[in-house]
């Protein structure tokens, strides 16, 4: 699979962001130079992937919500750029297989492990519990994990922020080795602890201001709450259908 469209898409999506934001990357030396690995990262905006990829020293294969890849033209470009879909409304075995195939080929796969965009108390760095699904997948694939935190990209939701060139930060933590003997709950706790440690260090090192901390798109737009029919499709939460109860 060629990397041409990976770099093409990265530069295309960064094109409107580069002049209007300042980026800070740290601890990228922690990234393994070769071999399979999972990036487990928090998720605060749709701009996260291009910011992450901008200076990451390896090509990243992203797992993304299926509706994004169903968008005409845009979705096709993402697929060409090594993005593959996950259907969060069900147990998606095809996505698990794709993840394992790409890791087996020695690639780095990035998963936004909270299951979608999160901020405040709904996020792990805000005190929420990490869903156990991704740690369960990690246990299955048994590769090293690169914990990562991104802060500031959600500021780009508001055009009024662009002239002041908001700061965007990406930091990698120490690689967490594979541990087949650990339970998925233990693996979950290791990732959550790594994220919180990275975040606390970033707050001190960069003197993060309240307005730089993650907020929802609606907050960035200056609208605290929108009627359901006014919320853009790709900002709406994924709702899983309840399984019928056996009698």
237 pLDDT above the threshold of 80: no
Q: Using 50, 70 and 90 to split pLDDT, how confident is the model at 146?
A: very high
77-124 pLDDT, tens per residue? 899 999 999 998 878 899 999 999 999 999 999 999 999 999 999 999
Q: Using 50, 70 and 90 to split pLDDT, how confident is the model at 228?
A: low
For every residue of 193-241, DSSP letters joined together read HHHHHHHHHHHHHHT--GGGS---HHHHHT-S---GGGS-GGGSPP-PP
Rounded Cα gap, residues 247 and 241, in angstroms:
18
Return all residues near 234 (Cβ < 8 A) that are at least 6 apart: 46, 65, 67, 68
pLDDT for the residue 126: 96
DSSP 176: B
CATH 3.40.1000 assigned to 4-235 = no
Q: Of all residues in the chain, what percent carry a pLDDT higher than 70?
A: 90
- If one compares 167 and 241, the residue with the highest pLDDT of the two is 167
pLDDT for the residue 41: 98
Return all residues near 165 (Cβ < 8 A) that are at least 6 apart: 19, 20, 21, 22
What would the two tokens of residue 108 be?
Answer: 């780095």
Is the pTM higher than 0.75? The answer reads: yes
175 pLDDT above the threshold of 90: yes
Return all residues near 140 (Cβ < 8 A) that are at least 6 apart: 96, 100
| Average pLDDT, rounded, for the chain | 90
Domain ranges for the chain, please list them.
4-235
Q: Using 50, 70 and 90 to split pLDDT, how confident is the model at 247?
A: very low
Q: Which whole number is the average pLDDT over 156-180?
A: 97
62 pLDDT above the threshold of 80: yes
């Amino acid at each position: 699979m060629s990397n041409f469209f990976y770099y093409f898409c990265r530069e295309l999506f960064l094109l409107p962001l580069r002049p209007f934001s300042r980026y800070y990357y740290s601890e990228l030396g922690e990234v393994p130079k070769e071999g399979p690995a999972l990036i487990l990262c928090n998720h605060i905006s749709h701009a996260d992937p291009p910011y992450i990829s901008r200076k990451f020293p390896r090509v990243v294969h992203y797992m993304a919500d299926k509706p994004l890849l169903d968008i005409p033209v845009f979705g096709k470009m993402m697929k060409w750029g090594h993005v593959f879909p996950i259907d969060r409304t069900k147990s998606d075995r095809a996505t698990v297989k794709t993840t394992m195939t790409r890791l087996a080929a020695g690639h780095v796969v990035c998963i936004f492990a909270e299951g979608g965009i999160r901020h405040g108390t709904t996020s792990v760095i805000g005190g929420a519990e990490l869903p156990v699904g991704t740690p369960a997948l990690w246990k299955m694939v048994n590769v090293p994990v690169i914990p990562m935190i991104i802060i500031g990209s959600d500021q780009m939701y508001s055009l009024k922020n662009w002239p002041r060139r908001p700061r965007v930060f990406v930091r990698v933590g120490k690689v967490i080795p594979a541990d087949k003997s650990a339970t998925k709950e233990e693996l979950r706790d290791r990732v959550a602890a790594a994220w919180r440690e990275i975040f606390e260090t970033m707050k001190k090192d960069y003197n993060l201001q309240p307005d730089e901390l993650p907020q929802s798109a609606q907050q960035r737009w200056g609208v605290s709450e929108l009627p359901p029919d006014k919320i853009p499709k790709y900002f709406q939460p994924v709702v899983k259908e309840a399984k019928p109860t056996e009698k």
